[in-house]
Amino acid sequence: MKEDIDNDVAKDDDLLRKKISELFGDKATLGEETVGSGGYDFAPLNICGVLVCIKSDHGAVRVLGGKDAENVETHPEQREQYCIVHVNKNQSCAILGGSKYRCIYS
């Protein structure tokens, strides 16, 4: 499942942490901003979601497995936009290219 996040919320750690608590519960924590290596990498297995900056380098954030698979493409010419992609227990998350993202840990 993918949910769009207001730019003001995505840029304010306090508001973002509040939103993450609403979506994932009080124990959820937010990782540091990370940029993909330019290849095909996997996010840590203990995540429950990913905040994706859609206006970042060429790439994608993909949630694989199960019926709720998602693919969020990133591109430097996109308008500034953020979303949270949910990652269920039976799924994994791949980071392609230079996508900018923050992992959400359960």
Domain residue extents for the chain: 2-105
pLDDT at residue 30, as a whole number: 96
Interatomic CA distance for residues 102 and 100, integer angstroms: 7
Q: Each residue of 48-99: pLDDT tens digit?
A: 999 999 999 999 999 999 888 999 999 999 888 999 999 999 999 999 999 9
Strands 70-74 and 59-64: antiparallel
Residue bearing tokens 């206006």: 55
Contact between residue 93 and residue 48 where contact means Cβ atoms under 8 Å apart: no
Its CATH architecture, for the domain 2-105, is: Sandwich (2.60)
13 SS3 class: helix
Reported pTM:
0.94
> In 10 A of CB 51, how many CB atoms?
23
